[in-house]
């Protein structure tokens, strides 16, 4: 077995306008991504300290590297006197996850509170009048989902522009609809997925920021990508990229078999500098003032799976 040496693990931090993406995502090891300004965390990994501060947790699927820290996340929040978290999970996972958490209640001998919300494609969870979370179906098997954070805004219809306030108020009292609803997708997070219709979803295509996996990059890793229902760089370049209209694309879940530095180099050769201008790798710690160091690990054993 390959030797591994561990250093202190730190996490990426990327500015996206007035918000930030904080997280850690390595294939088969851990995936957890937080948007702190929106109080949302996608997946929980091993429940790093920063994830505890989010009241909303969106679980994409049941693989251990995305879900393992859930009981700890809930228990620590309870221990620290924080309010019970709301956890969005694929409908297929509600019962088994509930059973797991009830077991932990017994093990810890404390009644840790939580709220599980079963989600399916197109389901909407309303956070506030002006903020919703919409689920989208991804292609990783077992009821996997992605989530889109959507800003909801009420806009005055053009035909009422310039009219005085008292007149508009009178129209409202008469029951006239003078506004229309505008939904603006802010952040889309897909978790693990292969190529499929999710990339044609308007919310995914038009989100200001898209976080998507691209796990494999070597030519001889295509079979691994297909078997694990992950994206290979060929599919990302040839099928995914032509569909996207996002201001920023952040790539997650790179396999340690390649590593971020080499993956970035391979993608740059395929896309060129112009094609890379709005693409970042979450775990690219080089040249970023916000990024810290990650733990140093040797390559995985040949029989390990992402």
Place of tokens 């919703």: 132
What is the reported pLDDT for 8? 56
Tell me how far the alpha carbon of residue 299 is from its chain's centroid.
25
Q: Is the pLDDT of residue 288 over 80?
A: no
Q: Is the pLDDT of residue 299 over 90?
A: no
CATH fold group of domain 20-281: Metallo-beta-lactamase; Chain A (3.60.15)
Contacts of 216 (CB under 8 A, 6+ apart): 222, 224, 225, 230, 231, 232, 233, 255, 257, 258
Q: Label residue 273 by pLDDT band (50, 70, 90).
A: very high
Q: Is the pLDDT of residue 300 over 70?
A: no
Separation of alpha carbons 88 and 67, rounded Å: 12
Q: Is the pLDDT of residue 19 over 80?
A: yes
What is the reported pLDDT for 289? 42
**pLDDT tens per residue across span 72-131:** 999 999 999 999 999 999 999 999 999 999 999 999 999 999 999 999 999 999 999 999
| pTM for this prediction | 0.89
Q: Label residue 303 by pLDDT band (50, 70, 90).
A: very low
3-state secondary structure 249-300: EEEECECCCCCHHHHHHHHHHHHHHHHCCCEEECCCCCCCCCCCCCCCCCCC
Closest CA to 90 of 128, 53, 123: 123
What is the reported pLDDT for 180? 80
Q: Is the pLDDT of residue 42 over 70?
A: yes
Contacts of 278 (CB under 8 A, 6+ apart): 246, 247, 248, 249
Q: Label residue 170 by pLDDT band (50, 70, 90).
A: confident
DSSP state, 161? T
Structure tokens at 264: 């970035």
Separation of alpha carbons 29 and 257, rounded Å: 12
Q: What percent of the chain has pLDDT over 90?
A: 79
**Mean pLDDT value of segment 21-47:** 97
What is the reported pLDDT for 10? 77
Q: Is the pLDDT of residue 44 over 90?
A: yes
Separation of alpha carbons 209 and 21, rounded Å: 10
Q: Which one has a higher pLDDT value, 156 or 305?
A: 156
Q: Label residue 285 by pLDDT band (50, 70, 90).
A: confident
Q: Is the pLDDT of residue 301 over 50?
A: no
What is the reported pLDDT for 306? 61
Question: Can you give the length of the chain in residues?
Answer: 306
Q: What percent of the chain has pLDDT over 70?
A: 90
Closest CA to 73 of 49, 104, 100: 49
179-189 and 145-156 strand pairing: antiparallel
Cite the DSSP H helix spans in the chain.
64-67, 70-79, 94-108, 165-173, 202-206, 222-228, 233-235, 260-275
What is the reported pLDDT for 1? 46
Q: Is the pLDDT of residue 47 over 90?
A: yes
**Mean pLDDT value of segment 179-197:** 95
Contacts of 151 (CB under 8 A, 6+ apart): 130, 131, 183, 184, 185, 186
Q: Label residue 135 by pLDDT band (50, 70, 90).
A: very high
Residue 188 β-bridge partners: 148, 210
Across the chain, mean pLDDT equals 91
What is the reported pLDDT for 142? 84
């Amino acid at each position: 077995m390959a030797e591994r040496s561990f250093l202190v693990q730190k996490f990426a931090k990327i500015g996206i306008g007035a918000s930030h993406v904080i997280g850690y995502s390595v294939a088969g090891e851990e995936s957890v991504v937080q948007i702190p300004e929106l109080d949302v965390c996608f997946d929980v990994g091993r429940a790093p300290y920063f994830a505890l501060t989010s009241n909303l947790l969106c679980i994409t699927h049941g693989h251990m590297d995305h879900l393992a820290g859930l009981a700890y996340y809930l228990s620590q929040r309870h221990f620290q006197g924080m309010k019970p978290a709301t956890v969005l999970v694929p409908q297929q996972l509600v019962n088994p996850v509930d059973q797991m958490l009830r077991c932990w209640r017994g093990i810890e001998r404390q009644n840790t509170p939580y709220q599980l919300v079963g989600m399916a494609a197109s389901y909407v969870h309303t956070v506030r009048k002006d903020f919703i979370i919409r689920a989208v179906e991804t292609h990783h098997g077992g009821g996997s989902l992605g989530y889109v954070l959507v800003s909801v805004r009420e806009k005055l219809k053009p035909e009422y522009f310039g009219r005085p306030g008292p007149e508009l108020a009178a129209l409202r009292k008469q029951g006239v609809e003078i506004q229309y609803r505008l939904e603006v997708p802010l952040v889309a997070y897909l978790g693990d997925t292969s190529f499929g219709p999710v990339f044609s979803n308007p919310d995914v295509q038009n989100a200001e920021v898209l976080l998507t996996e691209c796990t494999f990059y070597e030519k001889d890793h295509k079979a691994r990508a297909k078997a694990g229902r992950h994206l290979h760089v060929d599919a990302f370049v040839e099928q995914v990229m032509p569909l996207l209209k996002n201001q920023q694309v952040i790539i997650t879940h790179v396999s340690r078999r390649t590593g971020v530095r080499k993956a970035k180099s391979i993608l740059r050769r395929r896309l060129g500098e112009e094609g890379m201008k709005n693409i970042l790798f979450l775990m690219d710690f080089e040249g970023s003032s916000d990024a810290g160091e990650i733990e140093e690990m040797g390559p995985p054993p040949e029989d390990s799976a992402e």
